[in-house]
Amino acid sequence: MTLQLPIRAAVVTVSDKGFAGTRVDGSGPTLQVLLREMGAEVGEPYLVPDEQEQIERLLKQISDSGDIDLILTTGGTGLAPRDRTPEATLAVADRLVPGFAEAIRSSSLAVTPHGMLTRGVSVIRGRTLIINMSGSPKACNEQFATVAPALTHAVETLRGQAYECAGHGAG
């Protein structure tokens, strides 16, 4: 079975400097291109400062609209005091989906020992999958390549279009 509709995706960049206009966001546009290349429908990226309440509010707004299957966040996953994306994501979660974050950390660690520093999480809110990614275009390319093979089946399952996971090795 194939998706009845393309994946409907949103990209959220979490960055104080990007929000203030003192740094141009490269990660959000990178994720937009990668999503479009896999056939997803994606609009303009959202940009929010490293403020947990604002991140939570935006993730709720996008997820609860019913119009988005997948949210990829970029930024705010490190060890800096203002990096609060994982906390905001967990605060809005209905269920955890640890495999995406585990795979991201594993593949990142194969590239750099700093891969173990990402605190990104992956969750479900309603019928929307939310995956945190690091805040650099290079990391977004690498991390997207890791999760992309599972995204279509994840969205099919969330939409209720896929019930048998045996052929996919998960379940």
Predicted confidence (pLDDT) per residue in 86-139, tens digit: 999 999 999 999 999 999 999 999 999 999 999 999 999 999 999 999 999 999
For 108-143, the DSSP string reads HHHH-GGGGG----EEEETTEEEEEE-SSHHHHHHH
pLDDT of residue 163: 63
Residues 171, 121, 9, 94, CA torsion sign: positive
Tokens linked to 142: 């690498």
| 17 pLDDT above the threshold of 50 | yes
pLDDT of residue 150: 97
Nearest Cα residue to 129 out of 75, 77, 162, 89:
89
Predicted confidence (pLDDT) per residue in 21-65, tens digit: 999 999 999 999 999 999 999 999 999 999 999 999 999 999 999
Residues pairing with 39 in the sheet: none
Q: What is the pTM of this model?
A: 0.93
- Continuous segment of H or E residues that includes residue 86: helix 85-92
| 1 pLDDT above the threshold of 50 | no
Domains of the chain, each with CATH number or no CATH: 8-168 (3.40.980.10)
Integer Cα distance of 24 and 18 in angstroms: 6
Integer Cα distance of 160 and 123 in angstroms: 17
